[in-house]
Amino acid sequence: MSILLTGGLGYIGSHTAVELLNRGEDVIIVDDLSNSKIIVKNKIMQITGKKFKFIKADLKNLKKTEKIFKNNNISAVVHFAGYKIVGESLNHPIKYYENNILITLNLLKCMEKYNVYNMVFSSSASIYGDQNEMPVKETFSTHANNPYSRTKLYIEEILKDFYNSNNKFNFAILRYFNPVGAHESGLIGEDPNDTPTNLMPYITKVATGELKELSIFGNDYSTKDGTGVRDFIHVCDLAIGHALALNKLKEKPGVFICNLGTGKGYTVLETVTTFNKVNGNLVKYKFVERRSGDIAISYADTTKAEKELKFKAKYNLEEMCKTSYKFEKNNK
Ligand code: UDP
């Protein structure tokens, strides 16, 4: 039996593939290469010394999706595939709704037809929006405030409806905080096709000289140094979270919703300063206006992950900064 990873050559998918292969699981990766590179397939094999099947396919195509389920013995789906750039989603909402939701619907249709009952879904802490209280618990209300986040929220609702219609299914919905860092080998990491919009990939490109200077969006928030606070979590910790969620599904949890973060908030300025401390003084920055739509503070309540998944993030911010830069240098 194999675990199907949709979007498995992407940033979080590739690290999860490594984790699952290292645990002796049989993995099939499907990816349309829209925001990933085929070379990642070889890098995963190089890191793990294991082989796996790769299928290039666009899961918006139901026939192609069905062929994958028909031709393989799939026990569970870990569903990463989806567009993920907030700014782009504001300009192209239909593209986001069509892609992210249609892929999920096609997967669910095939899971039902071929009796595949377990899915881990890649959701986002961005669905919490701006909250008055920190840390953020899974029980908090949701306020997705852009099309990207709304696709995540709507998919969560679709999964719940689907479960209510047929409770043979099990869904683990993982709400990621801010994934950063890279595999310690420096072979895989975050590698966006376009100029990055997220903080860490922007920082690493300033460090290598590809970009000139980091703009820190806002230094007038009510935080200790005025810059935004985020819960940065190492992508290898996140990958372990997926392996644990797959185990959780075997206990028949129905719909299990869980934050994946460290529970610690660091400011943007602290993050840049830590990066400069561990990698040499490479990143110049300036303060600019707040970015529209940004929230001031976001960090996770990790109680549920600790209790129910036995998950505790182990990498610190220094390791996140070191490995992010190692990958960027290797990949330049
Ligand atoms: N940020 C920044 N400069 C950048 C990119 C991001 O100051 O070039 C800040 C952003 O305003 C936020 C934090 O870094 O406070 C994390 O932003 P990111 O886009 O990585 O994640 P998200 O906003 O989804 O938490």
Residue 194's identity, in one-letter code, is: D
What pTM was estimated for this model as a whole? 0.98
- Cβ contacts of 157 within 8 Å, gap of 6 or more: none
**Three-state secondary-structure class, residue 50:** coil
Average pLDDT over residues 102-109: 98
Cα–Cα dist 159/256, whole Å: 11
Confidence of residue 332 (pLDDT cuts 50, 70, 90): confident
Q: What pLDDT, on a 0 to 100 scale, did the predictor assign at position 173?
A: 98
Average pLDDT over residues 69-78: 98
pLDDT in tens, 169-189: 999 999 999 999 999 999 999
Any atom of ligand 1 within 6 Å of the Cβ of 202: yes
Q: What pLDDT, on a 0 to 100 scale, did the predictor assign at position 125?
A: 98
For residue 212, report the distance from its CA to the centre of ligand 1, in Å: 17
- The answer to whether 311 and 305 are in contact (CB under 8 A) is yes
Cα–Cα dist 94/88, whole Å: 11
To test the ligand 1 pocket, which listed residue (11, 291, 298) has its Cβ within 8 A of the most ligand atoms?
A: 291
Q: What pLDDT, on a 0 to 100 scale, did the predictor assign at position 119?
A: 98
Confidence of residue 300 (pLDDT cuts 50, 70, 90): very high
Proportion of the chain in helix, strand, coil states, percent, rounded to 5: 40, 20, 40
Q: What is the mean pLDDT of the chain?
A: 97
Confidence of residue 123 (pLDDT cuts 50, 70, 90): very high
For residue 18, report the distance from its CA to the centre of ligand 1, in Å: 27
Q: What pLDDT, on a 0 to 100 scale, did the predictor assign at position 56?
A: 98
**Three-state secondary-structure class, residue 196:** coil
Average pLDDT over residues 269-288: 97
For residue 199, report the distance from its CA to the centre of ligand 1, in Å: 5
pLDDT in tens, 31-60: 999 999 999 999 999 999 999 999 999 999
Q: What pLDDT, on a 0 to 100 scale, did the predictor assign at position 89?
A: 97
Cα–Cα dist 166/244, whole Å: 24
Active-site residues, by number, are 148
Confidence of residue 154 (pLDDT cuts 50, 70, 90): very high
Q: What pLDDT, on a 0 to 100 scale, did the predictor assign at position 170?
A: 98
